[in-house]
Structure 1
Amino acid sequence: MTHLQAHIEGIGFWTRGLPSWEAALAHAADGALVADAPSRPSPQLLPANERRRAPDTVAVALDVAMAACQAAGRDPATLPSVFASTHGDLGITDYMCETLAGDPLALSPTRFHNSVHNAAAGYWTIGTGAMAPASAISARESSFAQGLLDALAQLASGDEAVLLVAYDGQAAGPLKQMAPSDGLLGAALVLSQQASPGHLTLRAQLVASGGHQDATGPLSKLASANAMAPMLPLFDLLARGHGSVRLVAGPDHDLLIDVSSAELARG
């Protein structure tokens, strides 16, 4: 497979103690956490009443997506988007299973509405008025790598820029044994075809499995128990600004990613 390439125009990040990419960069540099960080995101895209009712997974996805678009200076309504989540919202899934087993008529229409895997993508496209394509991807521990491949393929097919959003939340009930996930984690990238000074360049290639992703960086260690933790070695790499990393992309393949500055990439 030939290399797929993108330039990173904007980054969004949220986990408990690190409510922004700037906070994540500071943590990567000195281990600091934001002392008064909120316990959950409050995405300004939603009206106040919907903001309170939105599941944590939707809230974190919208928060990081908007942060990445703002950092890129892009209108969210113009961007095709890829939303990657390993499990969707396991808390709501547990509620649905328990309610259907015990008292089906008590099922909440709102929680049912939020149980679908593309709930975050739906909130995003409605809230931003985006008419561009939006997809929702789940591929177990390969969810982020497959989402990134999807976004890169869209760029290679001619899209000017693509928004990639990845997130997972807290597992609940019996599902914790089968699909463990702790805490809340989300990140987003605005990827584009156009190189620009100061932006990082990402090149990716599918390779045979065999290497091991470096999960020893500060962000990887901080949120290692979340189901979306397989993406964190890349974000540790983005914090450093250069280097390479492997992400699990399937049973037999890894995604080998190289990151460099736009200036180095042209050299």
Structure 2
Amino acid sequence: MIEPSGFISAFIEGIGLLGPGFANWSEAKDTLAGRSGYLAARTVVPAPASLPPAERRRTGTSVKLALAVGHDAVEMSGRDVATLSTVFAASGGDGQNCHAICETLASDDRKLSPTRFHNSVHNAPAGYWSIATRAMAPSNVLCAYDGSFAAGLLEGLCQVAVDGVPTLLIAFDTDYPAPMREVRPVPDAFGVALVLAPQQSTHTLARVDARLTDAPATPLASAELEALRRAIPAARSLPLIEALARGCSSSVVLDYLQDVQLQLDISPTSDAAESERQQVTGAATR
């Protein structure tokens, strides 16, 4: 919904998370809430069981990552995966696949594998998602460099507000090998997914109200998690994910564009219900 105050609002029903030291959202909650320490480890991306064997063999890390967090978020929400509109956001493509293509083009034998080519396009994960889920709902794919998560979240919120339909946001990044890592030093893979809905439901985790701001991005108290947030573009989502893990009302600012950031006011389930009641009451008295 678009509020008179200028906020764009939605309700979060599901979360998927996979990254360095985070196997999934369930295991990450205690760490992000400060109840346990952070143990850094390389990201382990599972094979996409939802794909037929032939497509599964062709997938790269970015596709596997997007499918893993997307399925986790949808399962948590209780929604029918085939009916959800989707927004895919990534600051780049599959780094390993891009590296392999560059190696081929720099060699004497420059014949490029069709599989390498179709995995190189930015919307490859969206295509594999539709194969895996048989989803026919609209799907958007976007990139905004280091602000890609915020751009994807804004797009998802706008779809919820304007079209009134639940929307799945999947944001992800993968690492680049040398020598590209020297100019794009993304050290590891990180993915996050959110199911956004226009109304509160029994699966609602929190309400989020978004607006643009010129305030600086919110840093994380943990030095290790802050380093992770700054190192991987999709991990710019961590202030929001940490707030959801803590389960208390809070306000955070996410990196977006050079002079514009994204402010998010997060209200957990009980507070979200009260916020919605006040909005309805306020609209009725105007």
The TM-score, its normalising length taken from structure 1, stands at 0.91
CA distance in 2, matches of 1:237, 1:217: 14
Is contact 2:211–2:263 with CA below 8 Å preserved after alignment?
yes
The one-letter code matched in structure 2 to 1:70 is E
Q: Are 1:116 and 2:148 counterparts? A: no
1:228-239 matched pairs, under 5 angstroms:
228-239=234-245
2:264 to 229, 232, 257: 257
| Deviation for aligned residue 1:76 | 1.1
| Deviation for aligned residue 1:84 | 0.5
CA distance in 2, matches of 1:205, 1:160: 20
Is contact 2:30–2:245 with CA below 8 Å preserved after alignment?
no
Is contact 2:18–2:24 with CA below 8 Å preserved after alignment?
yes
Report which of the two structures shows the higher radius of gyration computed on alpha carbons: 2
Q: Are 1:202 and 2:229 counterparts? A: no
CA distance in 1, matches of 2:111, 2:198: 49
Residue 277 of structure 2 corresponds to none
1:150-169 matched pairs, under 5 angstroms:
150-169=155-174
2:68 to 60, 63, 87: 63
Q: Deviations over 1:231-265 (max 9, x none)?
A: 12211111112311111221221100011123213
Residue 90 of structure 1 corresponds to 95
1:1-267 matched pairs, under 5 angstroms:
2-28=6-32, 29-31=35-37, 39-103=44-108, 105-196=110-201, 199-207=205-213, 209-217=214-222, 220-221=225-226, 223-224=228-229, 225-241=231-247, 242-267=249-274
> Which moves more between the two structures, 155-164 or 23-32?
23-32
Q: Deviations over 1:45-81 (max 9, x none)?
A: 1134533442111101000001111100111110110
CA distance in 2, matches of 1:139, 1:216: 26
Return closer, same or farther for 1:17/1:220 CA change in 2, 3 Å cut-off: closer
Is contact 1:170–1:183 with CA below 8 Å preserved after alignment?
yes
SS at match of 1:239: helix
RMSD over aligned Cα atoms: 2.3
> Which moves more between the two structures, 40-49 or 66-75?
40-49
CA distance in 1, matches of 2:209, 2:76: 21
| Deviation for aligned residue 1:125 | 1.1
Return closer, same or farther for 1:156/1:218 CA change in 2, 3 Å cut-off: farther
CA distance in 2, matches of 1:211, 1:145: 14
The TM-score, its normalising length taken from structure 2, stands at 0.85
The one-letter code matched in structure 2 to 1:251 is Q
Return closer, same or farther for 1:38/1:145 CA change in 2, 3 Å cut-off: closer
Identity of aligned residues (%): 40
SS at match of 1:244: strand
Is contact 2:51–2:131 with CA below 8 Å preserved after alignment?
no
Return closer, same or farther for 1:191/1:17 CA change in 2, 3 Å cut-off: same
Is contact 2:218–2:252 with CA below 8 Å preserved after alignment?
yes
Is contact 2:192–2:234 with CA below 8 Å preserved after alignment?
no
Structure 1 unaligned spans of 5+: none
| Deviation for aligned residue 1:196 | 2.9
| Deviation for aligned residue 1:42 | 2.4
| Deviation for aligned residue 1:221 | 3.8
Is contact 1:203–1:258 with CA below 8 Å preserved after alignment?
yes
Q: Deviations over 1:190-249 (max 9, x none)?
A: 000111355211110012x23232233488347343232211221111111231111122
CA distance in 2, matches of 1:263, 1:187: 24
The one-letter code matched in structure 2 to 1:256 is Q
Is contact 1:41–1:56 with CA below 8 Å preserved after alignment?
no
Structure 2 unaligned spans of 5+: 275-286
Matched pairs, number: 265
The list of structure 1 runs, each at least 4 consecutive aligned residues, that deviate by more than 4 angstroms after superposition, is 32-35
Residue 279 of structure 2 corresponds to none
